[in-house]
Amino acid sequence: MKRSFYQFALTAALVLTVGISSSFATPAGDLDNINASFHKDFRKAELLATNVTVDYTKLTFKMNGMVLFAFYSGDGKLLAVTHNIVSTQLPLQLLMNLRRNYADYWISDLFECDADGNTSYFLTLENGDSKVTLRSTGGDWETYIKSTKI
């Protein structure tokens, strides 16, 4: 009898602990509202994945043969849409600047971001010693993040 009581108490404590901790980890925002906004914004899109964080919800979807990522605030406002691109899809001025100034680096990540109708490009370059992320909101690159490899 004592053993079953202790097992019940332990199980109840575990369930209560998991329930309380998951309630603190839940982000503010209504997923139903976000999904409704998404389907309104992208009527013919095929939703592939949803990733909820404390600050935003990222929806991965397919539209017109492209995989895109939409970022929504907790209240269902579209923050940005991104998609991966290859370097040859960059505007010519950015591509030429990249080849001229970063010839000893390789590209490890490149995506186009549209937020509020403004297009930006984010590019991560690496070499044996360092990693640098550049951003362009116009015709030139600016250093966004730079780190040294250990």
> How far apart, in whole angstroms, are the C-alpha atoms of residue 2 and residue 41?
58
> How far apart, in whole angstroms, are the C-alpha atoms of residue 79 and residue 67?
17
- pLDDT(5) > 70: no
Using only C-alpha atoms, what is the Rg of the chain? 22
- Direct distance between the N- and C-terminal alpha carbons of the chain, in angstroms, rounded to an integer: 58
What is the amino acid identity at position 105? Y
Residue 118, Cβ density class (10 Å: 0-12 exposed, 13-18 middle, ≥19 buried):
exposed
> Which pLDDT score is estimated for 29?
64
> Which pLDDT score is estimated for 128?
93
- pLDDT(44) > 50: yes
- pLDDT(34) > 50: yes
Given a contact cutoff of 8 angstroms between Cβ atoms, the answer to whether 27 and 53 are in contact is: yes
Tens digit of each residue's pLDDT (9 = 90 or more) over 55-68: 999 999 999 999 99
Alpha helices by DSSP H, the chain: 2-25, 31-41, 92-101
**What percent of the chain has pLDDT above 70?**
81
> How far apart, in whole angstroms, are the C-alpha atoms of residue 93 and residue 97?
6
Q: How many CB atoms lie within 10 A of CB 56?
A: 19
Task: List the structure tokens of 21.
Answer: 């901790």
Which pLDDT band holds residue 24 (cuts at 50, 70, 90)? Answer: very low
> Which pLDDT score is estimated for 41?
96
- Please tell me the pTM assigned to this model: 0.74
Domain residue ranges of the chain, discontinuous segments joined by +: 31-148
Does CATH place domain 31-148 in 3.10.450.360? yes
If you ran DSSP here, which 8-state letter would residue 141 be given?
A: -
Which pLDDT band holds residue 20 (cuts at 50, 70, 90)? Answer: very low
